Chains A and B, each alone.
Chain A
């Protein structure tokens, strides 16, 4: 099981965390991985400068809202397999 957590605190929010959340939701659904990936939100990871902050099983990543698909394919998917 993969824990995918997106920061929804103020700083990441204005940098586009909602788009990141929505795209990840869609990608998880498209790839039929709802039973393998749990998507969570959290208020602040303490790394506001590096937003949008995302963790995959506690490992930190900075994700641009326009590069969500790339992040999902290159980072999240390999972990599932």
Chain B
């Protein structure tokens, strides 16, 4: 079964694996420089113009696997030399244009940008075109194509633009670290910094959990990942890597659902605080709505805080689908509780760096949270959980939730709210389409993932939020 969606992910994984391997054995400083040649041996290029460029780019990937540019606060980084400087022509007429009679494109264009040559073939006047795309939508031959950079198209918050040398540039004042560009760039030129070395240092430093215990906190979207093995094997694999035990972030989600439903009833209107990219988006683009952001920590930080307060001395490492979580733990409110974040991609690299073949392991158990905590992983789950929280606590509040699937939907809901036209009292904001299962750090993305999360939710031993959190001390 395939481990990744794309070859870019596979390449990133191989770099991470080699970096991790060297770090486990304490030889990274000497051997980091040899990693590119190890991955691209010989003289025949398979990805770029020559092996030397391939290795130069790999050397940059090694740096990012080791934490990347320390001077750049953003966890998302562009590898300049990997950027292929894709053309950005905008809307253009292709040779599929048949010079038809109808001229729907001309009718659709509100700016008079479409004219016709002597063969009746459409032309776009670039000085008039406003890139609205109306012509493209109405052409029966699909003859009008939008030449846009995949990174710019992926970035719905418009944080990516073309730099002086035509390479992609990220505007840190707009970027929400969602990682959409990371997943979409066909050349792998934008990537998330890795803190896999911190993870290894923490695991090594625990000296088999004798100095302190290392807790893995895993996101519920894990149920849709590592499909070539059983979830129980993934859990056992984590213990083989040196984690003391594994706890569901979904239990933190149960705690959040309980508290957030109360907070909502008190305040009357809230926007969710689970998705760090959504929270950052509000702060950067709709600062006037900041006061409505729920004061709850995210499920990750909530459960990590609980662990830190009750299981000292310990370290907590979050493992999830999310690149924005790497940014979240730099924030004051989450920093004390979470020591490191890694993605599922990075976990795969970590397993293989230790030659842990999870398919051969016996199945461990992962069961702390309720159905509701677990379905936070997909869009709509958080709203369902808040509804349940209201019901279980007998709070009389008429929930009108707006579940926003992807940052564009979030943007729309926030815009409506800022204009006083939103017919809802709760905005569930998920920056990734589909929710966390659409996260950039997932190994694979698929249509079945939502069903997998729901199935995993139904398998939870606890059926209600109350029962799941009743064993925890307040």
State the A residues within 8 Å of B (CB).
Answer: 6, 8-11, 13-14, 17-18, 21-22, 40-44, 46, 48
- Whether A43 contacts B215 by the Cβ 8 Å rule is yes
Which residues does chain A contribute within 8 Å of B215, judged by CB atoms? 43
Chain A to chain B contacts (Cβ below 8 Å), 6 pairs:
A9-B368, A14-B461, A18-B462, A21-B471, A41-B471, A42-B310
Interface size on B, residues (CB 8 A): 22
B365 and A43 form a contact (CB under 8 A): no
Question: A8 touching B472 by the CB < 8 A rule?
Answer: yes
Q: What is the bound-complex CA distance between A35 and B55, given in angstroms?
A: 67
Shortest Cβ distance from A79 into chain B, in angstroms?
22
Q: How many residue-residue contacts, CB under 8 A, span A and B?
A: 52
Give Cα distance in the complex from A10 to B471, angstroms.
12
Cβ of B34 within 8 Å of any chain A Cβ, yes or no, is no
Cβ–Cβ contact A14 & B311, under 8 A: no
Chain A contacts of B245 at CB under 8 A? 9-10, 43-44
A10, B472: Cβ atoms under 8 Å?
no
Can you list the 9 inter-chain pairs with the closest CB atoms, starting with the nearest? A44-B245, A10-B365, A8-B471, A10-B367, A11-B365, A21-B471, A14-B367, A10-B366, A14-B461
Q: Is residue B470 within 8 Å, beta carbon to beta carbon, of the partner chain?
A: yes
Q: Does B437 contact A (CB under 8 A)?
A: no
Residues from 212 to 249 in B contacting A, C-beta threshold 8 Å: 215, 235, 244-248
A28 to chain B, nearest CB (A): 14
B473 at the interface (CB under 8 A from A): yes
Q: Please, which residues of chain A bring their CB within 8 A of the CB of B364? A: 10-11
CB-CB < 8 A to B365: which residues of A?
Answer: 10-11, 14, 48
**Which residues in B have their C-beta under 8 angstroms from that of A21?**
470-471
Cα distance A43–B244 when bound, in Å? 10
B355 at the interface (CB under 8 A from A): no
**CB pair B310 A10 closer than 8 Å:** no
Residues of B within 8 A of A11 (CB): 364-365
Closest Cβ–Cβ distance, residue A53 to chain B (whole Å): 12
Name A43's contact: one of B247, B461, B470, B473 (CB within 8 Å). B247
Which residues of chain B have C-beta atoms less than 8 A from A43's C-beta?
A: 215, 245, 247, 307, 311, 368
Q: CA A17 – CA B215 in complex, angstroms?
A: 20
CA distance A12 to B21 in the complex (A): 34
A46 to B243, CA, bound (A): 11
Most A CB within 10 A of own CB, among B245, B248, B471, B472: B471
Determine whether the beta carbon of A44 is less than 8 Å from that of B244: yes
Q: How far, in Å, is B311 (CB) from chain A's closest CB? A: 6
Asked whether B207 is an interface residue with its Cβ less than 8 Å from the other chain, the reply is no
Closest A residue by C-beta to B366: A10
B333 CB–A CB distance under 8 Å: no
CB of B69 closer than 8 Å to a CB of A: no
Residues B245-277 near A (CB distance < 8 A): 245-248
B171 sits at the interface (CB 8 A): no
**B470 A40 Cβ-Cβ under 8 A:** no
Given A11-B365, A14-B367, A18-B467: A41 in contact with B473 (beta carbons within 8 A):
yes
In the complex, what distance in Å separates the CA atom of A44 from the CA atom of B472? 14
Distance to closest chain A CB from B188 (angstroms) = 36
Kindly state the separation between the CA atoms of A48 and B362 in the bound complex, as whole angstroms: 14
Specify the chain B residue showing the minimal Cβ separation from A42.
B311
User: For residues 2 through 35 of chain B, which have their beta carbon under 8 Å from a beta carbon of chain A?
Assistant: none
